[in-house]
Amino acid sequence: MSILADTLSRVKPSPTMAITGKAAELKAAGRDVIGLSAGEPDFDTPENIRQAAHEAIENGKTRYTAVDGIAELKQAICAKLKRDNGLDYTPQQITVGTGGKQTLYNALMATLNPGDEVVIPAPYWVSYPDMVLLAGGTPVIAEAQLENSFKLTADQLEAAITPKTKWFIFNSPSNPTGAGYSHDELKALTDVLMRHPHVWVMSDDMYEHLAYGDFEFCTPAQVEPALYDRTLTCNGVSKAYAMTGWRIGYAAGPQELIAGMRKIQSQSTSNPCSVSQWAAVEALNGPQDYLAKHNEMFVRRRDLVVAMLNEIEGIQCPTPEGAFYVYPSISGLIGKTTASGKTIETDEDFATALLEDKDVAVVFGAAFGLSPNFRVSYATSDAALKEACTRIQDFCAKLT
Ligand code: PLP
């Protein structure tokens, strides 16, 4: 008999991390692998933030802190939510965790009873359904379509809600599609939620600052203030400030929920890293001008990748509003055979053959719940992106 709990048989390890690991292995073996699978910016944490961390260490900020964050960071988060989102929260309504991932996980652990359903739009960030399963709930997947630029419609949300629905998880701009909901598109969804007062909304705003062109970021509690009392607004410093390794995420919501999340954290990891918390204070309170500079770079890369992928017959790649991902459809390539003789029946076959034959690592769409597609992370250099897209073009040109 296995030592492992039954729950574990229902969840899978993160496929994006597995692919990134496989690409790293090939690279270590001397292959010229271009990784387009990692979900993190390719530049360093800004200097002022690194400096704040050094100072924290020198000033002895190296001990346990309050379980869900130091007062200074909670203040900085309240100020940020007011400044950027027009939302009023008090420090008692804020919780800080070890990455956005932990705060989302805490929220699900603190609220789900067996049988509770969580509506998750697909394509989704890989961890949502598995976190729901780990917390004992039931994920209900609502599929968005390519035709709607991978955005869920009001009718699709309405159809997914049942009396057992506890949460709707909303993520804009999205991982894996980069799709960002406009004010009106989000309002159509919040109107549905207004008709179902038992449903709470967990808004994962992790890619808020990675928003391009005319697209203006918005979040549910801002678009529909009447949802404030049943919204958990989640965010973090990982993506915008190139701080993925520092592990700081946060959430704002009703005090009862925040206290429940704190309880979970107090019995698992306690406080997030003290030094990282001081770095996050600087990230939120310090200068924000590099965000626009990074975005200029990301827009250029997005446009390059979208253009090169759309040149390929059989691939359709919408231009997303934000994040650093594109999610091309490969429905025109299914059933074809590679130059090395492999048949592409699924998007996983496509990604595996691309890595083996052309040393380009992408994540297959099945991992995100919508196929046949693949996800490209364009958070890497222009030169690497050009070379990778050329290899993808070459790989596809040789399909028969
Ligand atoms: N939410 C989304 C949509 C993400 O893509 C990620 C990371 O990939 C996270 C949350 C988690 O972020 P963190 O690294 O802060 O845990």
Q: What CATH code is carried by the domain that includes residue 128?
A: 3.40.640.10
Distance 1 CA to ligand 1 centre (A): 35
Note whether 195 and 313 are same-domain residues: no
Residue 395: the pLDDT is 97
Inter-residue contact 145 to 195 (CB < 8 Å): no
Q: How far is CA 274 from CA 54, 62, 141, 352, in A?
A: 12, 6, 37, 40
Could you tell me if the CB of 236 is within 6 A of ligand 1?
yes
Could you tell me if the CB of 98 is within 6 A of ligand 1?
no
Residue (of 123, 38, 39, 13) closest to 372 by Cα position: 123
Q: What range defines the domain where residue 214 resides?
A: 63-285
d(Cα 233, Cα 221) in Å, to the nearest integer? 8
Distance 67 CA to ligand 1 centre (A): 21
Is 204 a member of any domain? yes
Could you tell me if the CB of 238 is within 6 A of ligand 1?
yes
Residue 147: the pLDDT is 94
Residue (of 223, 241, 247) closest to 233 by Cα position: 223
Could you tell me if the CB of 375 is within 6 A of ligand 1?
no
Note whether 386 and 237 are same-domain residues: no
d(Cα 287, Cα 337) in Å, to the nearest integer? 52
Degrees, nearest 5: CA angle 234-235-237: 160
Amino acid at the residue 40: E
- Among 175, 210, 237, the mutation site with the greatest number of ligand 1 atoms within 8 A of its Cβ is 175
> Considering 247, 265, 285, which residue would you say is the last residue of a domain?
285
Of all protein residues, whose CA lies closest to atom 3 belonging to ligand 1? 175
Task: Give the CA dihedral 202, 206, 210, 215, nearest 10 degrees.
Answer: 10
β-bridge pairing 231-236 and 200-204: parallel
Degrees, nearest 5: CA angle 301-148-366: 70
Inter-residue contact 349 to 331 (CB < 8 Å): no
Give the pLDDT confidence of 104-157 residue by residue, as tens digits: 999 999 999 999 999 999 999 999 999 999 999 999 999 999 999 999 999 999
Place of tokens 């009396």: 163
Structure tokens at 296: 């200029």
Residue 1: the pLDDT is 81
Is 57 a member of any domain? no
Number of folded domains that form the chain: 2
Contacts of 60 (CB under 8 A, 6+ apart): none
Could you tell me if the CB of 244 is within 6 A of ligand 1?
yes
- Across the strands, what pairs with 175? none
Could you tell me if the CB of 176 is within 6 A of ligand 1?
no
Residue 91: the pLDDT is 98
245: left (phi over 0), alpha (psi -120 to 50) or beta: alpha
Note whether 252 and 120 are same-domain residues: yes
3-state DSSP: the chain helix, strand, coil percent, rounded to 5?
45, 15, 40
d(Cα 189, Cα 308) in Å, to the nearest integer? 33
Is 54 a member of any domain? no
d(Cα 119, Cα 193) in Å, to the nearest integer? 12
Could you tell me if the CB of 202 is within 6 A of ligand 1?
no
Note whether 76 and 214 are same-domain residues: yes
- Which atom of ligand 1 is nearest the CA belonging to 39? 8
Note whether 138 and 89 are same-domain residues: yes
Residue 289: the pLDDT is 94
Distance 127 CA to ligand 1 centre (A): 9
Amino acid at the residue 217: F
Residue (of 262, 244, 266) closest to 253 by Cα position: 262
Could you tell me if the CB of 208 is within 6 A of ligand 1?
no
d(Cα 42, Cα 38) in Å, to the nearest integer? 9
From first to last of its 400 residues, the chain has per-residue pLDDT tens of 889 998 888 887 777 777 777 888 898 999 999 999 888 999 999 999 999 999 999 999 999 999 999 999 999 999 999 999 999 999 999 999 999 999 999 999 999 999 999 999 999 999 999 999 999 999 999 999 999 999 999 999 999 999 999 999 999 999 999 999 999 999 999 999 999 999 999 999 999 999 999 999 999 999 999 999 999 999 999 999 999 999 999 999 999 999 999 999 999 999 999 999 999 999 999 999 999 999 999 999 999 999 999 999 999 999 999 999 999 999 999 999 999 999 999 999 999 999 999 999 999 999 999 999 999 999 999 999 999 999 999 999 999 9
Structure tokens at 62: 């190296």
d(Cα 169, Cα 166) in Å, to the nearest integer? 10
Is 105 a member of any domain? yes
Note whether 125 and 232 are same-domain residues: yes
Structure tokens at 60: 């002895």
Residue (of 159, 110, 166) closest to 138 by Cα position: 166
Note whether 301 and 346 are same-domain residues: yes
> Considering 237, 257, 285, which residue would you say is the last residue of a domain?
285
Q: What is the largest CA-CA distance in the chain?
A: 64
Residue (of 307, 295, 339, 273) closest to 207 by Cα position: 295
Residue (of 163, 134, 176, 148) closest to 268 by Cα position: 134
Task: Give the CA dihedral 260, 284, 295, 372, nearest 10 degrees.
Answer: -10
Note whether 97 and 236 are same-domain residues: yes
Q: How far is CA 77 from CA 22, 260, 288, 334, in A?
A: 37, 19, 14, 46
Note whether 275 and 184 are same-domain residues: yes
Could you tell me if the CB of 99 is within 6 A of ligand 1?
yes
Residue 38: the pLDDT is 83
Could you tell me if the CB of 224 is within 6 A of ligand 1?
no
Residue (of 253, 211, 227) closest to 104 by Cα position: 253
Residue 21: the pLDDT is 79
Note whether 211 and 187 are same-domain residues: yes
Distance 206 CA to ligand 1 centre (A): 6
Note whether 381 and 304 are same-domain residues: yes
Residue 109: the pLDDT is 98
Note whether 222 and 160 are same-domain residues: yes
- Among 127, 206, 235, the mutation site with the greatest number of ligand 1 atoms within 8 A of its Cβ is 206
Q: What is the CATH number of the domain that holds 387?
A: 3.90.1150.10
> Considering 269, 285, 301, which residue would you say is the last residue of a domain?
285
